[in-house]
């Protein structure tokens, strides 16, 4: 067995010692290479003694991740120790190049230790590298993606702690340089096992539109979206009077809304999400629709928020109807119906002639009636313009004999009842966005008298 020889250099990696008085004798000069983020030591040595046992021990020792590293040369030592909070990240490997020292009793190896260095230069707070990517969608709204790495540094072993301490200042500076308002919509962080290196990704979307009533970028809301659907249909009234020939159909607007809620601001509970919707989301949606439909009377007819407690999201739909003026007042619907009744001129009189079906057919006066019903649904309340026109001054909408004759196909008709308006007060909407309405019904019965006889009183 060859005796160990004490050498001038020693490399210690965890439990492994190369050089010095060990059985791993240096062979030639070691090399040390340093860059911004990587230090590499290549240490050549020869194994003496039991080659099989030594090779197995070497392979085991150099597969250890993050072991402390010390290099001694001519009595001077330098250490890179992850255990002391310096943020180093070590990896070792064993190489077997060919050499003249490969004999039956000795074997030549090369131990390579790579140390990922901490980002401790300058004032970056452990930020090793960073990249900014800007993407534009079809309306030229920007999406900013920040990616990079943080390391631990002397005094702060945790890369995650350095990230948490300085990332906000860093991305605020980037966004300030770009200008505009930005909303953080995604964040990803991935530390390694030793927490000496952390990969991160932040995604920001540019905010070009209000997120709340008067706020472009609301602190509580994350990536809110509002989609407004506008629909309108039209129809015409079949009215005896041209003054009421046009109906005012409501403008129907449906708003679909969704937003995330920042859990660091509002906890994802039912009460918390309901509070955000009632104080921020709902007033914003209603306000946007009112701005979209200026000058209309609006009724909120449906409000259906959905609270996702697991993901901390609010979504749902809201429907509003807007009513515009048409003519002296607003007629939403008119139902004009004519019902015909009466009895024929033939009168059947039973007679006793031995047959159970015997009858005498006599001819008398025929009775023919028409019942005319006119129902209006209008915008307004008691005392409104619609109330005055249709209830107080509604004589002009009562059918005339000519109207009735035209509806019945001819004949002379006289009224047999005096029409009085029946009024039902309605409310359409959910407080406070409610529109008052009136259902006004006129009904009158007429009888046909082809040869009227005047009776003097």
Torsion of the alpha carbons at 278, 281, 283 and 285, rounded to the nearest 10:
-140
Q: Distance (Å, rounded) from C-alpha 20 to C-alpha 92? A: 19
**Looking at the DSSP assignment, which residues form a beta bridge with residue 10?**
19, 72
3-state secondary structure the chain: CCCCCCCCEEEEECCEEEECCCCEEECCCCEEEECCCEEEEEEEEEEECCHHHHHHHHHHHHCCCCCCEEEEECCEEEEECHHHCCCCEEEEEEECCCCCCCCCCEEEEEEEEEEECCCCCCCCCCEEEEEEEEEECCCCCEEEEEEEEEECECCECCHHHHHHHHHHHHHHHHHHHHCCEEEEEEEEEEECCCCCEEEEEEEEEEECCCCCCCCCCCCCEEEEEEEEEEEECCCECCCCCHHHCECCCCEEEEEEEEEEECCCCCCCCHHHHHHHHHHHHHHHHHHHHHHHCCCCEEEEEEEEEEEECCCCEEEEEEEEEEECCCCCCCEEEEEEEEEEEEECCEEEEECCCCCCCCEEEEECCCEEEEEEEEEEEEECCCCCHHHHHHHHCHHHHCCCHHHHHHHHCCCCEEECCCCCCEEEEEEEEECCEEEEEEEEEEEEEEEECCCCCCCCC
Predicted pLDDT at 86? 67
Q: Distance (Å, rounded) from C-alpha 378 to C-alpha 421? A: 14
Predicted pLDDT at 234? 56
Predicted pLDDT at 4? 52
Q: What's the predicted TM-score (pTM) here?
A: 0.66
Per-residue pLDDT of the chain (457 residues; tens, 9 = 90+): 445 555 678 999 999 999 887 888 899 899 999 998 899 999 999 998 788 888 889 999 999 988 889 999 888 999 888 765 567 888 899 999 888 888 888 899 999 999 988 888 877 888 999 999 999 999 899 999 999 999 888 766 688 999 999 999 999 999 999 999 999 999 999 998 878 889 999 999 999 888 888 788 888 898 899 999 988 665 544 444 444 445 667 788 899 999 999 888 777 788 889 999 989 998 899 888 888 888 787 888 889 999 998 888 999 899 888 876 544 567 777 787 888 887 777 777 888 877 888 887 777 777 888 888 888 888 878 877 777 777 777 666 667 777 777 777 778 888 888 888 888 888 888 888 788 888 888 888 888 887 655 555 4
Q: What angle do CA 176, 178, 182 make, to 5 degrees?
A: 70
Predicted pLDDT at 237? 41
Predicted pLDDT at 39? 93
Query: Which of 18, 118, 24, 111 is closest to 72 using CA atoms?
Result: 18
């Amino acid at each position: 067995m060859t005796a160990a020889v004490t050498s001038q250099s020693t490399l210690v990696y965890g439990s492994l010692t190369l050089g010095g008085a060990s059985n791993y004798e240096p062979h030639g000069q070691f090399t040390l290479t340093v860059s911004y983020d990587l230090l590499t030591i290549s240490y050549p040595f020869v194994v003496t003694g039991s080659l099989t046992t030594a090779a197995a021990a070497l392979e085991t020792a150099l597969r250890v991740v993050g072991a402390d590293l010390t290099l001694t040369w001519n009595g001077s030592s330098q250490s890179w120790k992850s255990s002391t909070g310096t943020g180093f990240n070590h990896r070792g490997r064993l190489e077997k190049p060919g050499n003249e020292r490969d004999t039956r009793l000795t074997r030549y190896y090369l131990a390579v230790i790579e140390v990922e260095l901490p980002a401790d230069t300058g004032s970056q707070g452990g930020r090793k590298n960073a990249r900014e990517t800007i993407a534009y969608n079809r309306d030229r709204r920007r999406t900013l993606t920040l990616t990079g790495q943080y390391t631990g540094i002397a005094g702060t072993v945790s890369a995650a702690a350095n990230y948490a301490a300085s990332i906000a200042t860093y991305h605020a500076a980037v966004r300030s340089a770009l200008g505009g308002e930005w909303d953080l919509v995604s964040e990803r962080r991935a530390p390694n096992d030793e927490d000496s290196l952390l990969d991160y990704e932040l995604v920001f979307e540019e905010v070009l539109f209000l997120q709340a009533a008067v706020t472009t970028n609301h602190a509580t809301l994350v990536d809110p979206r509002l989609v407004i659907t506008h629909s309108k249909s039209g129809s015409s009234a079949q009215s005896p009077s041209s003054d009421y020939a046009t109906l005012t159909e409501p403008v129907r607007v449906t708003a679909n809304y969704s937003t995330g809620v920042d859990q660091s601001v509002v906890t994802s509970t039912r009460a918390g999400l309901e509070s955000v919707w009632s104080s921020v989301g709902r007033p914003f949606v209603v306000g946007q629709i009112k701005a979209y439909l200026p000058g209309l009377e609006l009724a909120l007819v449906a409000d259906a928020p959905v609270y996702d407690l697991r993901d901390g999201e609010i979504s749902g739909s809201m429907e509003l109807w807007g009513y515009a003026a048409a003519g002296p007042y607003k007629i939403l619907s008119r139902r004009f119906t004519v019902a015909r009744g009466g009895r024929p001129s033939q009168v059947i009189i039973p007679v006793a002639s031995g047959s159970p079906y015997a009858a005498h057919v006599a001819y008398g006066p025929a009775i023919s009636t028409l019942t005319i019903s006119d129902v209006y649904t209008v915008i307004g309340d008691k005392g409104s313009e619609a109330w005055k026109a249709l209830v107080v001054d509604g004589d002009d909408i009562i059918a005339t004999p000519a109207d009735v004759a035209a509806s019945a196909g001819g004949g002379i008709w006289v009224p047999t009842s005096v029409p009085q308006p029946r009024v039902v007060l309605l409310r359409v909407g959910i407080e406070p966005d409610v529109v008052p309405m009136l259902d006004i019904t006129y009904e009158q019965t007429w009888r046909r008298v082809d040869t009227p006889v005047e009776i003097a009183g």
